[in-house]
Amino acid sequence: MNLNLRPPILVLCLLFVWAIATTLVFVKLARDAEDQIQRQAELAAINFDVNWIVRPDYYPHLFRTMRKEYFEDLARKHESFRSVVLTWARPDGDETILYPTERILRSPSDLELSRALKRPLLDPYDETRTPRGYLYFQLIPWKRWVTPLTFLLAALNVLLLSVILLVWLSRVSARYVQSQSELEQKKLELIQLEQLALAGRLSAGLLHDLKKPVIHIREEASEEPTPATLRDIREQSELFLSMLRESGLEGFARRRATEEECCDVIDLVERSLRLVAYERNDVEVAREFDEATPMVWGRPTRLMQVFSNLILNAYQAMRGRGKLTVKIGAVVENEGRKAVVTFADTGPGIPPENRERVFEPFFTEGKEGSGLGLYISRTIVEDLGGRIEVEEVATAGASFKVVLPEGN
């Protein structure tokens, strides 16, 4: 089940749970503190020697001597008790104060004992269980709440720190999202700029090839028109238009990105080979294409940008002489089919120490390149869920492998 909770609702739910848990723990600690005070009073009453309680009418001096012997120590040992009051249960049912000594033989009504803990003093040998007297423990009010209030303050501090942390994290998250959006926008702009730069280089090469039919048409047009001359001009014009169509430069150089679609890798590689044919010169191109290569999902112009960069780099590395082998096939990785395109040239190759650096921005071994072609190519391929890597070759030359996931 997918719960689509908005962050404010989630925060409110967490605060509600925190409030309930804090309340339950606070009540539990308050009850535990009260139970502890009750047990202290019970223990003091049980340990009291009831033989001390005799006829106080005749022995009042006895309880004056008990001040230091018992009662002051009793109040000092139990920090929850402010004072202790001892009474004698008279045979007529009334109570008489025996301690504190300044109140001896007076009625307990003279003291405010309504909120004190009252514990009976029983003779263990008296089967009637008649109290011989009572101990009253006057409590220090705030002592009961020390532990619960300490917990509550700690919980409030944790809540405050959590709120501060959440606010800080939300701001950091917002800044991160904004920076990621700006970074993505800058990356797209960089891709488009490099695409236009590559289109400019391709245009220069294409114009070099287009000069031939244009010059031929001009020479033919300078002579007297004859059927053969007109036929020749028509053929050269068709050649001129054919070169423009086959180059695909118009669609490649569009600034607006095309929509993603299922792409035929073989067709895109063929179009890329035609696009940079002006740089081929005497390079031999060997094709090894597997017709069972899966379709891939992406933008055709972006993929042509990747393939054109790799082919153009190979042509320039071989300086117009050598062999370029283009292999297209399929592999199965992670339970999925992927298209694999390999470009292997017979140029000078890439030194081992530079194989990882070739994809760094602005790194180039040539004088003409900007150092962004392979970096942009890797960015495009990784955005599609694929990868591009430099392969080790036994002989001279360089080999680049592009792996793209199958399109659904």
Distance CA 108, CA 103 (A): 9
Q: What is the pLDDT averaged over residues 271-282?
A: 81
Distance CA 402, CA 306 (A): 9
Burial 20-55 (b: 16+ CB within 10 A, else e): eebeeebeebbeebeeebeebbeebbeebebebbee
pLDDT at residue 4 in the model: 46
CA distances from 274 to 21, 134, 244, 270 (A): 71, 111, 11, 6
DSSP characters for 260-271? PEEE-HHHHHHH
How many residues are recorded in the chain? 408
Distance CA 293, CA 315 (A): 25
- Partners of 134 in the β-ladder: 87, 120
C-beta separation of 289 from 266 below 8 A: yes
Distance CA 131, CA 120 (A): 6
Which residues are CB-neighbours of 255 under 8 A, at least 6 positions away?
192, 196
pTM flag (> 0.75): no
- Sheet containing 81-89: which strands, arranged edge to edge? 95-99, 81-89, 131-139, 117-122
Distance CA 342, CA 107 (A): 108
Q: What share of the chain is helix, strand, coil (3-state, %, to 5)?
A: 55, 20, 25
pLDDT at residue 341 in the model: 95
pLDDT at residue 400 in the model: 93
pLDDT exceeds 80 at position 398: yes
pLDDT at residue 7 in the model: 59
DSSP characters for 90-144? -TTS-EEEEESGGGTTS-GGGS--TTSEEEEEE-TT-TT--EEEEEEEEE-GGGG
Cα 82–Cα 85–Cα 87 angle in degrees, nearest 5: 170
**What region does 81 belong to: left with phi over 0, alpha with psi -120 to 50, or beta?**
beta
- Model confidence band, residue 202 (pLDDT cutoffs 50, 70, 90): low
pLDDT at residue 235 in the model: 62
Which residues are CB-neighbours of 100 under 8 A, at least 6 positions away?
67, 71, 83, 85
Cα 34–Cα 36–Cα 42 angle in degrees, nearest 5: 105
Average pLDDT over all residues of the chain: 76
pLDDT at residue 3 in the model: 44
- pLDDT tens string 203-218: 655 564 555 556 556 6
- pLDDT tens string 6-44: 556 777 777 788 888 888 888 888 788 778 878 888 887
Query: Domains, the chain, ranges and CATH?
Result: 7-139 (3.30.450), 257-405 (3.30.565.10)
- pLDDT tens string 101-148: 677 777 777 677 767 888 888 877 777 788 888 888 877 767 667 777
Query: Where is pLDDT greater, at 81 or 405?
Result: 405
pLDDT at residue 387 in the model: 92
pLDDT at residue 97 in the model: 81
Read off the tokens for 53.
């309680």
Which runs of E-coded beta strand occur in 140-185? none
Out of 240-244, 268-272, 351-355, least confident range: 240-244
Cα 294–Cα 399–Cα 317 angle in degrees, nearest 5: 125
Q: What percent of the chain has pLDDT over 90?
A: 12
